[in-house]
C-alpha cells in the first residue's frame, strides 16, 4: 500500500512518517512539504535510521504540493495546520480516503467551526466526514472518505467519559496537563526552554480553549449533555498528557464506573484500565494507549487518563484509523509497550 503525508515537517508529521516507515503494510511513502520541498527528509528528522527505501519515489526528499498525484497513493494523510488542510484536501476528495489531523473536519456544524477557527474553506464537505475517535466510530471509519482525527485533549478527555452516558449529573470539571510538543514545532517565546523549565502554567481556562466545542459536540452526541469546565496546563516535559476529570454520579460508585469503562473497551487494543492505581505519562509514552484509572473522592469521582499527545493524541490514532479504513489489523504498526 502507498501513503502520502501532507505537512510532514512538524512534530505530528514527523511522528507520522516514522510510524509509516515501520508499518508492515505500507510499501511506499510520499512525504510532502511546502517549506521543505526538495530537502532530504533526514535533514529535517535526523532521528530516522536505516533504509528509507519506502521513499524511493521521491529519492528520500520532500515533494512539493503541486506535484501530488492522488493516483499514486492509496491513502492520504494531512498534518497541515487548521484551514490550510481543508483547502488542500478539497480537490483531493473522492480520489482517495483522506485522514486529516487538523480541526477542519471535526465539527459537524460549520457555524461551530466558524466560532472557533473562522469561516470554513469547504463547509459542504463536513457532512461526509467521520470523527476519528476509533474506539467509538469504527463502523463509520471503515467506509469514510474523510476521517477527522480528534485533538489530543479531546481524545484523552472523551475516552473515559463516553462509556458513562446516562450515569452522571452536574458539571464535568476537567484539568489537563500536556507536554510542550502539544503546542507544535514553532518558535515562540513562551515555548523556550528557559520559559518552560521549572514552570507550570494554566491557559485558556474554563470554556475558552478551542477544543471545548469539539469535546462538547462528542459528549452531547453520546448523550452526556452536561456543562463542562476545562482548564489545560502546560508542563515542563516534551511528550505526554494527563487528564483528571471530576464527575458526580448518584447511580454508580467508583467501582461500578471502573467496570463500565473496562467493559466498554474490552475489545479495544489500546484503551483500558491502568495496571497501576494512578497512571503516569511514562506508562504510555511512545505508544498508542490510553490508560484510565477511577478513584473515589467523597461525593465526586475522579477519572484519570493518560496518553502520549503525539502518538494516541495525533499520529498513532491516525495510523489506527488507516488500519481500520484499509482493513488491516487495528494494532498493525503501533506500539503498546510504554517506557520505564
- Share of the chain residues as helix, strand and coil, in percent rounded to the nearest 5: 35, 20, 45
Catalytic residue among 149, 152, 156, 290: 152
Question: What are 146's three cell numbers?
Answer: 474523510
User: Is residue 290 among the annotated active site residues?
Assistant: no
Q: What angle do CA 146, 149, 150 make, to 5 degrees?
A: 140
> SS3 for 99?
strand
CB atoms closer than 10 angstroms to residue 52 = 19
Residue (of 331, 330, 333, 335) closest to 307 by Cα position: 335
Q: What angle do CA 83, 84, 88 make, to 5 degrees?
A: 120
Question: What are 128's three cell numbers?
Answer: 461526509
Residue (of 99, 109, 185) closest to 149 by Cα position: 99
DSSP state letter for 328 = -
* CA separation, residue 4 to residues 15, 76, 131, 229, 243 (Å): 14, 5, 20, 38, 32
Residue (of 174, 211, 232, 228) closest to 314 by Cα position: 211
Strand partners, 305: 243, 292
Specify whether the CB–CB gap between 326 and 24 falls below 8 A.
no
> SS3 for 261?
helix
What is the set of active-site residues?
Answer: 152
Amino acid at each position: 500500500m502507498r501513503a502520502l503525508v501532507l505537512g510532514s515537517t512538524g512534530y505530528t508529521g514527523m511522528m507520522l512518517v516514522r510510524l509509516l516507515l515501520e508499518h508492515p503494510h505500507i510499501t511506499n511513502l510520499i512525504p510532502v512539504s511546502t517549506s521543505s520541498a526538495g530537502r532530504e527528509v533526514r535533514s529535517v528528522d535526523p532521528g530516522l535510521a536505516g533504509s528509507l527505501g519506502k521513499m524511493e519515489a521521491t529519492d528520500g526528499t520532500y515533494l512539493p504540493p503541486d506535484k501530488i498525484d492522488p493516483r499514486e497513493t492509496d491513502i492520504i494523510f494531512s498534518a497541515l495546520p487548521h484551514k490550510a488542510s481543508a483547502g488542500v484536501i478539497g480537490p483531493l476528495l473522492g480520489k482517495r480516503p483522506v485522514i486529516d489531523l487538523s480541526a477542519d473536519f471535526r465539527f459537524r456544524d460549520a457555524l461551530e467551526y466558524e466560532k472557533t477557527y473562522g469561516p470554513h474553506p469547504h463547509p459542504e464537505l463536513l457532512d461526509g466526514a467521520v470523527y476519528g475517535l476509533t474506539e467509538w466510530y469504527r463502523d463509520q471509519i471503515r467506509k469514510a472518505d474523510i476521517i477527522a482525527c480528534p485533538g489530543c485533549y479531546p481524545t484523552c478527555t472523551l475516552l473515559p467519559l463516553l462509556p458513562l452516558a446516562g450515569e452522571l449529573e452536574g458539571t464535568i470539571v476537567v484539568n489537563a496537563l500536556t507536554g510542550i510538543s502539544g503546542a507544535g514545532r514553532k518558535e515562540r517565546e513562551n515555548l523556550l526552554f528557559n520559559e518552560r523549565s521549572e514552570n507550570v502554567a494554566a491557559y485558556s481556562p474554563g470554556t475558552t480553549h478551542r477544543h471545548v466545542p469539539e469535546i462538547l459536540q462528542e459528549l452531547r452526541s453520546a448523550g452526556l449533555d452536561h456543562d463542562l469546565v476545562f482548564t489545560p496546563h502546560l508542563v515542563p516535559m516534551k511528550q505526554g498528557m494527563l487528564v483528571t476529570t471530576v464527575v458526580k454520579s448518584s447511580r454508580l460508585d467508583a467501582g461500578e464506573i471502573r467496570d463500565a469503562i473496562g467493559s466498554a473497551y474490552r475489545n479495544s487494543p489500546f484503551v483500558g484500565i491502568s495496571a497501576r492505581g494512578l497512571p503516569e505519562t511514562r506508562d504510555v509514552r511512545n505508544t498508542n494507549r490510553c490508560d484510565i484509572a477511577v478513584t473515589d473522592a467523597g461525593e465526586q469521582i475522579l477519572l484519570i487518563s493518560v496518553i502520549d499527545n503525539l502518538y494516541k493524541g495525533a499520529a498513532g490514532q491516525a495510523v489506527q484509523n488507516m488500519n481500520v479504513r484499509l482493513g488491516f489489523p487495528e494494532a498493525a504498526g503501533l506500539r503498546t509497550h510504554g517506557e520505564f
